[in-house]
Amino acid sequence: MSKEYINNVKKLYLASVESTDFANAPEESRQMINSWVERQTNEKIKDLFPNGSIDSSTILVLVNAIYFKGQWQQKFKEENTVEEKFWLSKDRSKSVQMMKETKDFNFTSLEDMQVKILEIPYKGEELSMMLLLPNEVDGLQKLEDKLTAEKLLEWTSSQNMWKSQVDLHLPRFKVEESYDLKAILVALGVVDAFSSRDADFSGMTRKHSLVVSQAVHKSFVEVNEEGTEAAAATGITVGATSISTPRYEHFHCDHPFLFFIRHNKTNSILFLGRVSSP
């Protein structure tokens, strides 16, 4: 690695560069990287790189890990949690532990999109969980098809949400998933990095001809009465406006919905996911 690249990684991204012997000890290197990810995510993300994903031809591995554990500003009362039905489709359901709370939340209802949106703040109000609940049991796919980053920012802006008394039903849920990002990145236009002919990482090193062979991502999110625990890791080889009339709304997450965790000051989305079977 060039000294300039190493210095920039440390200065601009607060990251570090570690040396390991991929050529002679690929399995030990894989275990070392996975152990680092486990520590950084409070053991929520394990085996980011599965067996055989790192071998003697590996030259460089880029790894990112994030962990978040937030308490709700006001916790759900455990005694209010009851077993209820969650509708997977119009004719199929399962039993879940449904948390319940009635109080003031930032809320909006978009009739043209057939969706309701609710904000649950975390302690300190720096972060919030936003819930996007389709009006129809089978409305999630339609919502996802129309969803864009610009629309999401517009819908959840302080100008479009208001404080309202809401009867909230939210299931406890845990989401774990693994993704192969290569096809996704290529579809987004990141093509040259995966091509042995066109890849150009000369800013990193001129001693080796580098090419990205794989990109993997794992995520974990758990929501309960206390708050949210979330983690994610990626590895690449190579206020509210008030209204004059009080409103009482129902927000029952008893069918598939979207959620995201937002940094409120910057509107940055830290985690985004769907709950289709909690």
pLDDT at 18 over 90: no
| HEC profile of the chain | CCHHHHHHHHHHHCCCCCCCCCCCCHHHHHHHHHHHHHHHCCCCCCCCCCCCCCCCCCCCEEEEEEEEEEEECCCCCHHHCEEEEEECCCCCEEEEEEEEEEEEEEEEEECCCCEEEEEEEECCCCEEEEEEEECCCCCHHHHHHHCCHHHHHHHCCCCCCEEEEEEEEEECEEEEEEEEHHHHHHHCCCCHHHCCCCCCCCCCCCCCCCCCCEEEEEEEEEECCCEEEEEEEEEEECCCECCCCCCEEEEECCCCEEEEEEECCCCEEEEEEEECCC
Average of per-residue pLDDT values in the chain = 87
Single-letter residue type at 211 = V
- Could you tell me what percent of the chain has a pLDDT over 70? 95
Single-letter residue type at 111 = E
In a domain, 11, yes or no: no
pLDDT digits (tens, 9 = 90+) for 76-122: 999 999 999 999 999 999 999 999 999 999 999 999 999 999 999 99
When mean pLDDT is compared across 62-66, 113-117, 263-267, the lowest value belongs to 62-66
In a domain, 179, yes or no: yes
Single-letter residue type at 209 = S
In a domain, 50, yes or no: no
In a domain, 277, yes or no: yes
pLDDT of residue 264: 92
pLDDT digits (tens, 9 = 90+) for 109-156: 999 999 999 999 999 889 999 999 999 999 999 999 999 989 999 999
pLDDT digits (tens, 9 = 90+) for 142-199: 999 999 989 999 999 989 999 999 999 999 998 888 888 888 889 999 999 888 888 8
Asked if residues 227 and 72 have their Cβ atoms less than 8 Å apart, the reply is yes
Single-letter residue type at 273 = G
- Of 118 and 47, which is predicted with more confidence? 118
Kindly report the CATH number assigned to the domain that includes residue 92. 2.30.39.10
Which domain range does residue 197 map to? 61-278
Number of folded domains that form the chain: 1
In a domain, 188, yes or no: yes
In a domain, 37, yes or no: no
